[in-house]
Chains A and B, each alone.
Chain A
Amino acid sequence: MQVPSHVEYERATSVDHALVLLSRPDARVLAGGHSLIPMMKLRLAQPEMLVDINGLTELSYIRLDGGQLRIGALARHADLLDSPLAGQHFPIFHDAERVVADPIVRLWGTVGGSLCQADPSEDLSAAFAATHATAVIHGADGDREVPVREFHLGPYETVVGRGELLAEVRVPVQPGTGSAYEKVARRVGDWSVAAAGAVLRLDSKNGIAQAGIGLTAVGAEHFVAAEAEEYLRGRPPDEESFTEAGAIAAVHCHPVADQRGPEDYKRHLVAELTTRALRRAAARATGPAAAGAKRRKAA
């Protein structure tokens, strides 16, 4: 029988209340709990106090504001998957959420919890890195904004400090953008063997103005394939570019052999999945949905 060790429990009644509670050493945020509680059962996490933020529904939104898609930290995976707004601007989130765990777990696990868990195999970290998102962190002294690409310090470690709470993720919305996420797992609901997310912004001459590539579970620094992104800048969005970008991404990541596969297999997946994600992102950037978005914007 697996049970967590002794722990205190407090329910936050407001964001400010949560920040006060979280100023205690060894206090941990309890949101969906679907990573934290299993880790507590295994004694991989032993917080002295849990701060339950499930009542802070003011952090559950998904909305468009100031040219950004803003996702509250307490939005559930199912909320993001069901959000037409998210799907319209960033299909990468729907691609990724469809393969996060299973439908029941997605009802409870949260977007903020995924980022703060900082699991190297977690899908949303790479997706947000690919989109050049920014994390908004509440603290007693006010808010601070941290690019998601600087949010993770390493496995299971983030820049969120004592007395702080991740409140929101902001994703810049830009015209001419397409995005996609491709994952290989051993079975439905499992962690990635490897996965790749891609965001492409095309310029008026149909060249690549900006590329974002996120990699999951393969030891990419900050979940990013920076060299492949740099290679793509200014190139045409074609098969040659995408294949080469995939090859570059595969060379520059650092997968380790484990029960999900050997290193060379994972590098092969990185190359193939990066290429596929770029291909789909490009199709979406130029496809009917993107054209529709432009028309709406023009009107």
Chain B
Amino acid sequence: MTMRVAVTVNGTDYTRDVEPRLLLIHFLRDELGLTGSHWGCDTSNCGSCVVWLDARPVKACTVLAAMADGRIVRTVEGLERDGQLDPVQQGFVECHGLQCGFCTPGMMMTARWLLDRNPDPDEAEIREAISGQICRCTGYENIVRSVRWAAEHSGETI
């Protein structure tokens, strides 16, 4: 049995017939081909699947695509604007915020949300914001630096 789900993802409308049990992360990756969001631990611990659902970050392995029906989703593919990287993305480039890159999309979506609410977060605030996400490469140091870089370069043409 399927149901019709209509979702606006990164400004584009998509309609698909899916099973109600389909998780949002698989909807994005397998139905829409948006593989930027990563499917990690499947237990809402690692945060590599974080996307925005109606302007709030969510672990997309722990919501159903059905719950997103009629709503707006933003994924890592929606961070850049007109070919310009978001300062968060540029920060990860400048400060080596990623090594293997698996956690990166989720980290960047949470960082963008943090900076929208708190444009000048200190290290403790950044660490708190990403405390529900796991990076096994960097020890978080460079991720924190990357977010700070983005805070210091927001509003600039990169």
Residue numbers of A with Cβ under 8 A of B are: 1-9, 11, 30, 33-34, 37-38, 40-41, 50, 52, 54, 101-105, 107-108, 188-189
Interface contact tally, CB-CB below 8 A: 77
What CA separation (Å) do A58 and B109 show in the bound complex? Answer: 29
Evaluate contact between B43 and A37: CB separation under 8 angstroms: no
| B67: contacting residue among A2, A3, A41, A54, CB under 8 A | A54
What CA separation (Å) do A108 and B50 show in the bound complex? Answer: 12
Question: A7-B21, A8-B20, A103-B132 provided; 12 other pairs, C-beta below 8 A?
Answer: A3-B22, A4-B23, A4-B64, A5-B21, A33-B63, A37-B63, A41-B42, A103-B129, A104-B58, A107-B57, A107-B58, A108-B62
Whole-angstrom distance between the Cβ of A231 and the nearest chain B Cβ: 37
Residue numbers of B with Cβ under 8 A of A are: 1, 3, 19-23, 26, 42-45, 47, 50, 56-59, 62-64, 66-67, 69, 110, 128-129, 131-133
Task: Return chain B residues, CB-CB under 8 Å to A6.
Answer: 1, 19, 21
Evaluate contact between B20 and A104: CB separation under 8 angstroms: no
Q: A5-B21, A104-B50, A189-B132 are in contact. Are A52 and B67 (CB under 8 A)?
A: yes
What CA separation (Å) do A54 and B53 show in the bound complex? Answer: 12
| B62: contacting residue among A8, A11, A33, A188, CB under 8 A | A33
Evaluate contact between B42 and A4: CB separation under 8 angstroms: no
| A38: contacting residue among B20, B44, B64, CB under 8 A | B44
Evaluate contact between B21 and A38: CB separation under 8 angstroms: no
Closest 6 CB pairs of A and B: A102-B132, A9-B20, A4-B21, A9-B66, A104-B132, A2-B42
Whole-angstrom distance between the Cβ of B24 and the nearest chain A Cβ: 10
What CA separation (Å) do A105 and B20 show in the bound complex? Answer: 21
What CA separation (Å) do A41 and B66 show in the bound complex? Answer: 16
Evaluate contact between A50 and B20: CB separation under 8 angstroms: yes
The chain B residue sitting closest to A40, CB to CB, is B21
What CA separation (Å) do A285 and B156 show in the bound complex? Answer: 49
What CA separation (Å) do A1 and B26 show in the bound complex? Answer: 10
Q: A8-B1, A34-B62 are in contact. Are A189 and B131 (CB under 8 A)?
A: yes
Task: Return chain B residues, CB-CB under 8 Å to A104.
Answer: 47, 50, 57-59, 110, 132-133
What CA separation (Å) do A117 and B128 show in the bound complex? Answer: 26
Task: Return chain A residues, CB-CB under 8 Å to B1.
Answer: 6, 8
Evaluate contact between A102 and B131: CB separation under 8 angstroms: yes
Whole-angstrom distance between the Cβ of A148 and the nearest chain B Cβ: 26
What CA separation (Å) do A103 and B128 show in the bound complex? Answer: 8
Task: Return chain A residues, CB-CB under 8 Å to B133.
Answer: 102, 104
